Amino acid sequence: MRLSHLLTAAAIVLLAQTPSAFSQQPASAAMEITQAWSRATPGGAPVGAGYLALTNRGAEADRLIGGSSEVAARVEVHEMSMDNGVMKMRELAAGLEVKPGETVTLKPGGHHLMLMGLKRALKEGERFKAQLEFARGGKTEVEFTVQGMGASSAPGAMTAPAGHNHNH
């Protein structure tokens, strides 16, 4: 299956990263945040996007309701949907629920974080900080890694469609 293949590739990349990659853990909540990435934006772009995977290790459901970032005026949780054959997005007013034991992945074409009022262009290879807010768990600091403009998945998995892999 394509999805499981991508997830496996992402997991391998995470294992290969430095220990600091595992430090994006909420202090108070049971929500595990991994694979936080964003896409480079052209100069003057008013918005950017953030993607990540949320795994609920706790016993209670929680909801991602929004956040803030040093690079944007505000951060919203968006969903994509088809409306008469046209892809549209809108803010999830009630937030994005993650049930106990569940992993929800925010990715291009699906749920995503919208960086509204982008203060500057996001450049490939840089990192920026954001604070995510959960209904139960409160606020959590996360660092996003900026991928290229054409990136479609978390670091490492994006090279798969081009037939490139990192098996040596």
**Comparison of 60 and 91: residue with beta carbon closer to Cu ion:** 91
Q: How far is the CB of 44 from Cu ion (least distance, A)?
A: 18
Residue number, nearest CB to Cu ion: 78
Nearest alpha-carbon partner for 66 in 89, 97, 95: 95
Residue type, 43: G
CA angle 106, 108, 112 (to 5 degrees): 40
**Comparison of 10 and 114: residue with beta carbon closer to Cu ion:** 114
Helix (H) / strand (E) containing 106: strand 103-106
Q: How far is the CB of 78 from Cu ion (least distance, A)?
A: 3
Q: How far is the CB of 28 from Cu ion (least distance, A)?
A: 27
Residues 98 to 117 in contact with Cu ion, rule: CB under 5 A: 114
> Near Cu ion by CB under 5 A, which window of 50-58, 81-89, 115-123, 140-148?
81-89
Q: How far is the CB of 89 from Cu ion (least distance, A)?
A: 4
Q: Supply φ then ψ for residue 115, to 5 degrees.
A: -90, 100
Size of the site for Cu ion (CB under 5 A): 3
Q: How far is the CB of 90 from Cu ion (least distance, A)?
A: 8
Q: Supply φ then ψ for residue 35, to 5 degrees.
A: 55, 40
89 binds Cu ion (CB under 5 A): yes
**Comparison of 59 and 82: residue with beta carbon closer to Cu ion:** 82
CA dist 159 → 15, 74, 77, 164, 167 (Å): 17, 31, 27, 6, 12
Nearest alpha-carbon partner for 113 in 59, 60, 35: 35
Candidates 35, 36, 78, 118; binder of Cu ion (CB under 5 A) is: 78
Chain residues that interact with Cu ion, rule: CB under 5 A:
78, 89, 114
